[in-house]
Structure 1
């Protein structure tokens, strides 16, 4: 399900100056990173980015069926709390748990999961209040709506426009990209076509999909609901047509995911659905509203975090964007096949599916480490990154003949990172000046990494992985000639994918990481010769 990112959340995550360039300078003598938005004095930067406490990961136990029912009622009534999950996922959870409910609670769950056309007497008031108009259909889709009342479309041709958009989305995702079509629902909704309902969702929800009938393994049929008009008074970002396009792509892809594994890790479900928006409507760029909660600007938050308050799972569509810009759009399809549950699928969870797909492409950990280091220069890391603001770093320092050393230390949670920048003083001129880096991290079995990037004044980059020994320690020496080098960045990466799975959390495999709060440090020293 797609949701607004609020201004308050953005400020809380990245701070008032968090989109400043990750550059270093001293007395205007050393330029910033190539492609950055400007120059920041490292002293100022350190004051703006104090060592913040690590985020508290949401590892709460899975709610009971009764608790899920209460949450679903609240969300669909338009009274969602900031801590509530999206409508798509709370309905998925309710659908998976409803067998545990009895009596009135079971009837309430059935009513919430019912299609709008089945819900005229729905106590939540979610069903259509008048009889459905004749649906607009083609051979694979039907658009359902009512002609009068608050749920009615804004014009007589709007249902047909929805059909055309949904059909184009189907053509792109299923016919063009090779994904499975949504699981057939028999004749539910009045016909065997996939059903989409138009409903006034009140401005807080763009749309959602709901599972309905289990098929083989963990696959299921379902239906989708889209807002009936995307009125600008409720959805001020973008035009109604643009909001329809990105929402159709996002929600239809959830229905496609149900043809692989409806119980997959929630971060993968939402991040790939948000990534799909870019394939469907790249001109809209609506998914950029989630950039502040991506690992570009919140690198301290684990990649697999699913937040019911901050939406990191939406922002991390950028990780898939990074991978597919290098290996092609088909990589996401391969990941879903590895995550799928049918006979020829891999039946893996999100991260093990990715590890399988990336095995012959340098491996997951190397790709993840290079992704985190590249996030300092979005223009290089992403196809449209030149339009992204420059991110901040954890710390920075200009080194000179007088001040030759600087050490930074931090703790990093799993699948997260911290970056530091060192700049050469103008007087460090000549080939004799180098920067010796000493990295200390946790044991190598926990998959630590360190990536050094030399940002040259000609705009090029030299990317170097630090070889870490079994104890997690390593060294690297690079040029620090101020005539050639603008800055040297060091990204410390906790690449751990070790979990105790099935612990009813919202992380990958429902598990708890074995390697959070790992200690890292980097010491930089200017040397000659």
Structure 2
């Protein structure tokens, strides 16, 4: 769609055009040489050519000639008022293929383009600049038909309609009697009343106003036979009004929604809320950021009519990811917005969640294959509103209004950045968190959202992803190079073997200077997720991280990397990268379960190695799952306590940021080692199961020092490398011999203590089982080093 500044972007006509076009690639190549030097091989040229191609495709809407734009504009206006059942209309039929694909929705951008370029309108289309009831113009919309006016009960709006269908404009359900009001008109009136109450009185927006700032006495809504859902615009005196369709049942490919009275009435209601908000926007903005205007107009639909959920089909069709690769594959069932099976083949990829690598402000006019990107972008507004409250949207518009009153202009992105800065945040930080929530679908209605499209999925290691190699014909070919405010999602799954180990990721930016970040999401078999950040060097944009507890039998079975381009500019915003993954299996491991309250804990022996308490808490727990970890210090006779707290709660003293979970939590108190046989108490808020790798030397020797008195003791889980470990209390007493006197463990669920002991040189008491990861107490008569 061509915006207010489109006239400045039109190409010149005549013989100079071919001579001008060849300069563009030359200038691009010259810029690359100046920025990065002469290439050492041909790969640089191939990459530059590919990125130039992407940029050209993305900006193709700005490179149409004036003649092409004139033709498109007039054909679209003709299509807007020229349905198949309107053969009596004098307007010419649109050319083949000029109609928008799938279902046409909001025509406001189209009508605004006509207002901004009236000199390009054909004479028979100039009526679009006037009100439908403006009889000063000879070709008004309705023509010579009787027009009725119905005022809403709240007195704020007027509805103009006709029951004469000679030109196809009669409202659905018309009976031709002047004394009766069609039910559809009454439904529109109720929708307008609900919309005014929510958008003006509840959300606090100024009612539709003149450009000069004074409010209209009454807002006008016209019901007509148009082929779009509706549109809002301004008349020659800059009064706002809107036009909606007269029968939504007959619109092309009406998608289902959740309105209990039917999808047609649901579509009408959200259209009223949507177009009324556009009319409100005219009082705040110059309509220069179509993506933001449509994002917020779709958002307000769901604020006014939350039960309809018409916006869901803009996000894409949810599907069952049967093979777990983060993509829809032919044969996998997919569903419509009502949750009903829509098919298993030929799923469309027009939804927002199918295009995560597009910039935040992308629209369908700049990315032809992403048909409804500006509508699906409602998810960004929902993120902001759910985090900061709905008033943040109005605050952004009010910032723009204040700048406009000063005779200046500002882009929506600059207004959003300023608003976030006032809330001690930044666009880059919010974009990272937003992209994470898109992955986890952590939204109020996220259960109805589809999975986000993944660029690749790995299950065999070592693995290497090169963004430059990413190619998808259905999405436009080479799509690996990230542009500003976009992201790629990569999934790393645990190997099929029943093992536990660590996943090492190495990230490298290979092209460009745009800032990148790489948040990670770790997912357990239960579905619980944890965010971890792969910290990148700000100078080289590279970094590494090792994630223990990864594997089919480990705490986390899936790691997903989200590579985010946080650049908020369009020149020099491109970046390519590689991500290497290596899996190192552990020789043995322990799976340990903790219940709410106090838990006795002793790490499994690691050949004398120890864990750091801060790293242990930050990696394996969240502030919502654990309260504290305490250790007894025999030298001072006191307990040392570490508390895991959320970063927003941390004080400036006595806390230490850790990795990899440093953005989410911090730890208070001095760190201490978690040594095998040590005495620790873990105070839990919620149940939690963790997996600790227990790396053993090549000779498979294992040693545990038991001191005189009470000792805490824990074994690894049994694997092929850990055969021969005792499986019961009696077996352990036999192996420790007369140096031990008793063994006890506490049942987690019942809280009872079970004990076994030596009685006349033979084991007695309860011969309870000793499982890997469980903590037992061993009472020793004398010190002993036990080897196995």
Partner of 1:257: 281
Match of 2:81 among 77, 81, 91: 77
Q: How does 1:239-388 map to 2 (within 5 A)?
A: 239=262, 240-292=264-316, 293-308=350-365, 309=368, 310-340=371-401, 341-343=403-405, 347-359=409-421, 360-378=423-441, 381-388=442-449
Q: Secondary structure of the residue that 1:90 maps to in structure 2?
A: helix
Indicate if the aligned counterparts of 1:435 and 1:526 stay in contact, CA closer than 8 A. Answer: yes
Distance 2:161 2:105 in 1: 26
Partner of 2:544: 475
Distance 2:386 2:548 in 1: 30
Partner of 1:27: none
Match of 2:231 among 194, 204, 208: 208
- Is 1:417 the counterpart of 2:487? The answer is yes
Q: Displacement of 1:428 after TM fit? A: 6.5
Distance 1:179 1:198 in 2: 24
Match of 2:116 among 67, 90, 96: 96
Distance 1:345 1:427 in 2: 66
Partner of 1:394: 455
- Is 1:521 the counterpart of 2:578? The answer is yes
Distance 2:404 2:251 in 1: 44
Q: Displacement of 1:263 after TM fit? A: 2.4
Q: Deviations over 1:11-53 (max 9, x none)?
A: xxxxxxxxxxxxxxxxxxxxxxxxxxxxxxxxxxxxxxxxxx9
Q: Displacement of 1:417 after TM fit? A: 1.3
Partner of 1:449: 517
Q: Deviations over 1:379-429 (max 9, x none)?
A: xx2211112233341111124xxx344444342122221111112225464
Partner of 1:17: none
Q: Displacement of 1:315 after TM fit? A: 1.2
Distance 1:321 1:346 in 2: 28
Q: Secondary structure of the residue that 1:259 maps to in structure 2?
A: coil
Q: Displacement of 1:183 after TM fit? A: 0.8
**CA 405–121 in structure 1, closer or farther in 2 if over 3 Å, else same:** closer
Which structure has the highest strand share of the two? 2
Indicate if the aligned counterparts of 1:443 and 1:472 stay in contact, CA closer than 8 A. Answer: no
Q: Displacement of 1:272 after TM fit? A: 1.1
Distance 1:319 1:281 in 2: 19
Indicate if the aligned counterparts of 2:130 and 2:137 stay in contact, CA closer than 8 A. Answer: no
Distance 2:389 2:65 in 1: 38
Distance 1:60 1:232 in 2: 31
Q: Secondary structure of the residue that 1:434 maps to in structure 2?
A: strand
Mark the runs of 5 or more structure 1 residues left unpaired by the alignment.
2-52, 215-219, 500-512
Match of 1:198 among 200, 211, 223: 223
Indicate if the aligned counterparts of 1:199 and 1:225 stay in contact, CA closer than 8 A. Answer: yes
Q: Displacement of 1:231 after TM fit? A: 2.6
Indicate if the aligned counterparts of 2:516 and 2:565 stay in contact, CA closer than 8 A. Answer: yes
Distance 1:135 1:349 in 2: 38
CA RMSD of aligned residues (A): 3.2
Q: Deviations over 1:135-166 (max 9, x none)?
A: 43453211111132232222424323312211
Q: TM-score, normalised by structure 1?
A: 0.75
- Is 1:146 the counterpart of 2:162? The answer is yes
Q: Deviations over 1:475-496 (max 9, x none)?
A: 2222243221120000111222
Q: Displacement of 1:306 after TM fit? A: 1.6
- Is 1:117 the counterpart of 2:133? The answer is yes
Partner of 1:87: 107
Distance 1:384 1:128 in 2: 45
Partner of 2:564: 493
Distance 1:405 1:108 in 2: 62
Q: Displacement of 1:195 after TM fit? A: 0.4
Aligned length: 442
Partner of 2:247: 229
Q: TM-score, normalised by structure 2?
A: 0.52
**CA 243–457 in structure 1, closer or farther in 2 if over 3 Å, else same:** same
Q: Displacement of 1:247 after TM fit? A: 0.6
Match of 1:127 among 142, 147, 152: 142
Partner of 2:209: 183
- Bigger relative contact order, structure 1 or 2 (CA pairs below 8 A, ≥6 apart): 1
Distance 2:249 2:141 in 1: 19
Distance 2:218 2:510 in 1: 54
Distance 1:444 1:472 in 2: 10
Q: Which has the larger radius of gyration?
A: 2
